Structure 1
Amino acid sequence: MGTPMATRLLDAGHSLTVWNRTAARAEGLAARGAAVAATPGDAVRCADVVISMLADPAAVAAVVTSAAPQLRPGTHWIEMSTIGPDAVRDLAGLLPEGVTLLDAPVLGSVDKAAAGELGVLVGGEADGVEKVLGALGTVTRCGPLGSAAALKLVVNTALVGGVVVVAEALALADRLGVPAAMAERTLLASALGGAARRALATEAAFATALAAKDLALATATAPLPVLGAVHDRLGAYPELAARDLARAADRIRAGG
């Protein structure tokens, strides 16, 4: 997600310094004009706006802790990972005085990021960074700090649960002798159309492990037995951890 988002910012004319935990992943951005930093602190030292897009709460906390001493008063830190509201509020305590934190997780995968068509959910005070966020997609202000992270967790858990339900429904269709094309077409036209489109996607890149991570965050917050079962189902496919969620749906559909 970070690479197409950074590309959008470069194309919009922003001066950009990037850092990636896997250095080779920043090479393409360097070729497009981005400066590449050796450490998180080097990346933020001269920044007015900092964007973080990482896998989980632990990774975000580690990067913020490393970079915080180099932040200047007046800087905006925009946290765009899916980490839940509690983790966002914890981050606020890691930042020095005078630095503004926003939570701004996104709706959409790499295709939407590349096209600048993400849904950007924003919690906190976004005045002054609208142009940066607007380069990435459509901005929806959700309320105070943590509100966007909360809404993103709600959306992701519903989506992941729906994808698994659709996959099981298609497995049922196969057992009942319903032609696959007919079952897919009918589900796509039904109230589950969005989940069906995602279950049948071929170009998205939402790793199964990240989907399971989001479910773990949700089930740690509230008693959600159905989503707990979905989490366990995804955990049964460790070999698909880095593959898109739709590939796990394929396995479920095939009865694996």
Structure 2
Amino acid sequence: MEHIAFLGLGHMGTPMARQLLAAGHPLTVWNRTAAKADPLVAEGARAAAAPAEAVRDADVVITMLAGPDALDAVADAATPALRPGVHWIEMSTVGPDAVHKLAARLPKDVTLVDAPVMGSTDKAAAGTLGILAGGDTSGVEHVLAHLGHVTRTGPVGSGAALKLVLNSAVISGIAVVAEALRLADALGLDGDTARTALANGPLAGVVARAFAEGVHFDATLAVKDLDLAARTTRLPAIEAALAHYRRVAAPGEDIAAAAARIRTS
């Protein structure tokens, strides 16, 4: 089986890497905070001290990083060590500009697929993520199948673009739900009654995520995603949601905690 290098072991990266290890792939892992690799090493992965070391013997490189700046830094370090013919799967939420920048710097014999994911830590752990894949996936379909269901979106960069569209809608929708419940509070309505009514309407999925437990999407990453969207074109509603999250987001907190703060502050 292909030797995979997995770079980025955050809340999503660790369970995704674990799926590949359980499938039998030789796995080398790297994370900026090295101790985060320890649980995977205990399960059979090899830890690398640097991105270049991680990718040196890899057939497939997967990046799952916090944002465009982190991807730039990893690409700078790892690109010179890539083997000819390697497949690079970029799964972070970084926007299409960062994907195109990565594509331009990779050697011509390296195949890039941008494949950001929909779903939180529970789906990552179950291998049931929604994967939005741009570019030629033919060489890595079987690898991606261990992580979830693949939707082909078009050329390189289209997966990142669609992920930005979907995340912007969901994250902004959560802020709208929080404001709607704030309105219900101001009108003297029972909070549970208002929440149930919203959950029974067209915003059901957004309401569920606003109150989700046992999953994690860092609220500061929500700020990053909305900021990427707002830099692309004029988006007044999304810009308003971004202002909310900038005001209340705390590192390490799930987006549901930010929603609760929007409702009450």
> Normalising by structure 1, what TM-score?
0.97
- Alignment counterpart, residue 228 of structure 1, candidates 214, 239, 258: 239
Q: C-alpha offsets along residues 88-146 of structure 1, whole Å, 9 cap, x if unaligned?
A: 00001221220011100000011110001100110000111111100000011111000
Q: What is the aligned counterpart of 2:84 among 69, 73, 78?
A: 73
CA distance in 2, matches of 1:41, 1:241: 29
CA RMSD in angstroms, aligned pairs only: 0.8
CA distance in 1 between partners of 2:139 and 2:57 (Å): 17
Cα distance in 2 for partners of 1:161, 1:149 equals 18
How does 1:109-188 map onto structure 2 within 5 Å?
109-188=120-199
The CA deviation at 1:242 is 2.3
**Structure 1 equivalent of residue 6 of structure 2:** none
**Structure 2 CA distance for aligned equivalents of residues 189 and 89 of structure 1:** 41
CA distance in 2, matches of 1:24, 1:175: 47
Superposition pairs of residues 1-256 of structure 1, within 5 angstroms: 1-238=12-249, 240-254=250-264, 256=265
SS class of match (1:177): coil
What is the DSSP-based 3-state SS (H/G/I as helix, E as strand, rest coil) of the residue aligned with 1:221? coil
Say how many residue pairs are matched: 254
| Aligned mates of 1:233, 1:87 — CA distance in 2 | 25
Secondary structure (helix, strand or coil) at the match of 2:186 reads helix
Q: Which runs of 5+ in 1 are unaligned?
A: none
**C-alpha separation between the residues in 2 aligned to 1:216 and 1:99?**
30
TM-score by length of structure 2 reads 0.94
Alpha-carbon distance in structure 2 between the residues aligned to 1:49 and 1:228: 37
Listed as ranges, the gaps of 5+ residues in structure 2 are 1-11
Which amino acid letter does the alignment assign opposite residue 221 of structure 1?
T
Amino acid corresponding to residue 103 of structure 2 in structure 1:
A
Amino acid across the alignment from 1:11:
A
Residue aligned with 2:228, SS: helix
Query: Which stretch of structure 1 is more off in the superposition, 169-178 or 137-146?
Result: 169-178
| Deviation sequence 1:191-243 (CA, Å, 0-9, x none) | 011110111112221111100101110010000011111111111125x2321
Give the ranges of 4+ consecutive aligned residues of structure 1 lying more than 2 Å apart after TM superposition.
none
Paired-residue identity, %: 57
Deviations 1:161-190 (A, max 9, x none): 100000011111111122111111111110
AA matched with 1:202: E
Q: Distance in 1 between matches of 2:215 and 2:238?
A: 22
